[in-house]
Amino acid sequence: MSTETPYRAIFCDVRTDRTIDILPLRDVSIDDYIGKPGALSGNIPVPDAAIAARVRRIEEGRTAVYLERGGDLWWGGIIWTSTLQSSGRGVITLSIQAATFDSYAGRRRIRQTFGHTTPTDQLELVRELWRKMQASVGGDIGVTYGDETSGVLRTESWRDGDEVLYSEAIEALASAENGIEHQISVYRDPVTGARTRQLRLGSPRIHTGVTDLVLDRPGAILSYAFPRDATRGGTTARARGASVNSNQAEESRPVYSKEMVADDLITGGWPRIDLSSDHNTISDGNALNLRAAGELAQARGAVVIPEITIRLGSEVPPSLLGRTVRIRITDEWHPQGLDARYRIIGVKVSPPERGRPDTADLYLEEA
């Protein structure tokens, strides 16, 4: 890796965060997103028996990896899979694939009955899910919590035996109308220097920083793309829930929401384009109405997720997710100049290797 922007791969125990080793990692790619797990992939070279003995200490499912850039933590997560491979010339490498710490919620299932029958802030419901997840013996992976509030109150409960993934329960809260956003941030405590894994919550959005990050083309922006996809959007939405049938002689039918319609788009000339989703653990019609309304709000008309590629420099901070960025572009398509504000909802970093510059792809939505 480049000595100008040094990256270090730090391998640790998932439960205790005890450092196991610091090893070289080549062909690295990392990404992270608001609302879903990010990924890391890379190759650890194994040139001799001494290094092999160290690499053997990596155990899938119980080893975490952090990628550090210039003293700051840019990524952290759990190694879930690896592949030991030897080339025709006898060169041995261990290829690893990891996912951010929020992926842990996708490996845990709700196996106790709990919930809130009185209206409770929806961000507290997410924290409650994580507290229950980490309260089991062997379940604590050191995720900490803030004290954010949304002002949106909901009643939610979960039952033992439904085998619902914790990630599914969190996503149900996220997809509701006026729902939530979530992400686990990794950073060093400014006082103690200890590595920290903190659950960040926002409603309806997560916001980072108080000033805009300004990026220009020509300048730090190397390339851009503005895709528009009507196959992922719609003008109506319906959510289906669990099948409820008290009469065994009748056909079992799922509960479903009202049809939510973007009347302003229809009036403005859009055709009807239908969205549909399934929520097999929800049997309450009002809850399904909230899911359908939330899904339509997130995918009205054509879905647009702009992407820009930037050159990483000292002016780009590690905490990018949720930050507002001001994009200024002057070229043939924008002869008068584009000056627009977006929010960063996804980041993919490619460290420099073999002449490739240190870059980041930023995935954006309108601020």
Q: What pLDDT does 242 receive?
A: 84
CATH class of 208-227+305-366: mainly beta
User: Are 108-202 and 208-227+305-366 in the same CATH fold?
Assistant: no
Phi, psi of 69 (to 5 degrees): -125, 115
Contacts 24+ apart (CB under 8 A), 247-251: none
CA distance 245 to 254: 9
CA distance 50 to 117: 57
Is there a contact between 280 and 241 (Cβ–Cβ < 8 Å)? yes
Quick check: pTM over 0.85?
A: yes
CA 206 to chain centre: 12
CA distance 110 to 144: 19
Give me 151's structure tokens.
């002002």
Segments in the chain below pLDDT 50: 1-5
Question: Mean pLDDT across the chain, nearest whole number?
Answer: 92
Q: What pLDDT does 246 receive?
A: 62
Is there a contact between 42 and 92 (Cβ–Cβ < 8 Å)? no
In the beta sheet, which residues pair with residue 154? 120
- Which of 3.30.1280.10, 3.40.440.10, 2.30.300.10, 3.30.2310.20 would CATH assign to domain 7-104? 2.30.300.10
Q: What is the pLDDT of residues 216-247, one digit of tens each?
A: 999 999 999 999 899 989 999 999 998 876 66
Phi, psi of 256 (to 5 degrees): -140, 160
Radius of gyration of the chain from its Cα atoms, rounded to whole angstroms: 23
Is there a contact between 363 and 305 (Cβ–Cβ < 8 Å)? yes
Give the count of beta carbons closer than 10 Å to the beta carbon of residue 352.
18
Domain extents for the chain? 7-104, 108-202, 208-227+305-366, 236-298
Q: What pLDDT does 5 receive?
A: 41
Is there a contact between 23 and 11 (Cβ–Cβ < 8 Å)? yes
CA distance 81 to 41: 10
DSSP secondary structure string for all residues of 215-235? EEETTTEEEEE--EETTS-BS
Give the count of beta carbons closer than 10 Å to the beta carbon of residue 80.
18
Q: What pLDDT does 281 receive?
A: 77
Yes or no: is domain 108-202 CATH 3.40.50? no
Is there a contact between 343 and 322 (Cβ–Cβ < 8 Å)? yes
Give me 91's structure tokens.
């060169």
Q: What pLDDT does 2 receive?
A: 40
Q: Is 232 left (phi over 0), alpha (psi -120 to 50) or beta?
A: alpha
Give me 152's structure tokens.
């949106």
Q: Distance from first CA to last CA of the chain, Å, rounded?
A: 35
Going by C-alpha positions, the residue among 16, 12, 18, 91 that lies closest to residue 51 is: 91
Going by C-alpha positions, the residue among 40, 46, 39 that lies closest to residue 27 is: 40
